Amino acid sequence: MIGKTREYPKEIMILEAIVRRFPRDDFKKAEFERKLYRKRAGYKGEKALDYFLEQVDHSEMVILNDLRIPINSTHFQIDTLIITPYFLLIIDSKNYAGTLIFLPEFNQLIRIQNDIEEVFPDPILQTKNQAYQLKTFLKKHSMTPPPIEYLVAISNTQAIIKNPTNDREVSYRVFRSSNVAFKLPLFYQKHTQSLLSKNDIKKIARHLVKAHEPLIPDPKSMNLPFNKMVKGVQCPACEAFGMDYHQGKWTCKNCGHKTGDAHIQALRDYFLIFGSSINSKQFRDFTNVKSSSTAKRLLTSMDLNFFGTTKGRTYSPGKNFFD
């Protein structure tokens, strides 16, 4: 069963809002676009692995996706954790494109793409460290972990994987995501002793899910040009900003598209960039709604929590506002 689903990362939502509303002539926009591209590729790789894992028999295992667990003064992250009665298995997904050359002797992964050579941290060493940290965490919470295995999944189907030194660890631990159903049996053959009861498995899963702290980066630490971020309601059809609100509908000045709820995405962007609180005046300023009674009607029609009296009232996202 899936003990923890993979959710669309808040970090990517924040980057999307920033890129959408970044002043177009600011050279720093490209830096955020690159970061967003990289994060989306990583997420896509994780989803690709999820897809192939869904086709494996789940009955005896619990799968926890996307864990970020505090340890000492830092965190360790696990893309996918599979808990079986015999072993735990960490899978780290990499969605790198190009030619990937594993050189474990120096803990290096070389990537060649478009004649550009780059070095990445050794993903086998990364997952090995995750295994070590997971073991430490479980012991600290008085749980005796069974053997912890680790794998590196290459999700990009275009990637060329090379292991020039014929390193056994590389051939054992690196695999293509599509091959996961054939990789798992190797570990069942290696670890045959049932060490965890159903209750033990549940206990481990519960502890990890409880300790999970999602990464929510703070835009205030990103040096954004806050005063120049693009305001207005964006047209979902042509992406132009500055839709007008008349008689219950948003109308695009650029393409004429009409829609009822384009202010929801605008408000999401506002919360993601400026923080999770807005008052009526700020909402009117951001969406260019002139009338305060219209603003109030729009604000109270959305899944928002509000605080304070009529005049100083502030609104913040409700539980499902970002779903």
Q: Which stretch binds Zn ion (CB under 5 A): 121-129, 157-165, 210-218, 229-237?
A: 229-237
CB 154 within 8 A of CB 100: yes
Closest distance of CB 249 from Zn ion, Å: 13
- Tell me: does residue 242 bind Zn ion (CB under 5 A): no
Closest distance of CB 23 from Zn ion, Å: 20
CB 274 within 8 A of CB 230: no
Closest distance of CB 253 from Zn ion, Å: 8
Q: For 6, which DSSP code?
A: P
- Rounded to whole angstroms, the Cα distance separating 264 from 234 reads 10
Judged by CB under 5 A, how many residues of this single chain contact Zn ion? Answer: 8
Closest distance of CB 39 from Zn ion, Å: 27
Closest distance of CB 235 from Zn ion, Å: 3
Nearest residue (CB) to Zn ion, 257 versus 268? 257
Residue from 252, 272, 295, 299 binding Zn ion (CB under 5 A)? 252
- Tell me: does residue 255 bind Zn ion (CB under 5 A): yes
Using only C-alpha atoms, the chain has a radius of gyration, in whole angstroms, of 24
- Tell me: does residue 30 bind Zn ion (CB under 5 A): no
Nearest residue (CB) to Zn ion, 257 versus 296? 257
DSSP H helices, 168-321, are 168-173, 180-190, 198-211, 262-274, 280-287, 292-301
Nearest residue (CB) to Zn ion, 165 versus 254? 254
- Tell me: does residue 235 bind Zn ion (CB under 5 A): yes
Nearest residue (CB) to Zn ion, 35 versus 258? 258
Nearest residue (CB) to Zn ion, 217 versus 256? 256
- Tell me: does residue 253 bind Zn ion (CB under 5 A): no
Hunting for tokens 């926890």 — which residue is that?
A: 64
Nearest C-alpha neighbor of 293 from the set 258, 248, 253, 256: 248
Q: What is the 3-state secondary structure (H, E, C) of 64-109?
A: EEEEEEEECCEEEEEEEEEECCCCEEEEEEECCCCEEEEEHHHCEE
Sequential DSSP letters for 23-50: -TT-TTHHHHHHHHHHHHHHHHHHHHHH
Closest distance of CB 36 from Zn ion, Å: 23
Residue from 13, 195, 237, 264 binding Zn ion (CB under 5 A)? 237
Closest distance of CB 79 from Zn ion, Å: 38
Q: For 19, which DSSP code?
A: H
Nearest residue (CB) to Zn ion, 240 versus 304? 240
Residue from 7, 238, 260, 306 binding Zn ion (CB under 5 A)? 238
Nearest residue (CB) to Zn ion, 256 versus 308? 256
Strand-pair category, 88-94 with 148-154: parallel
Strand-pair category, 258-259 with 62-71: unpaired
Note the residues at the interface with Zn ion (CB under 5 A): 235, 237-238, 240, 252, 254-255, 257
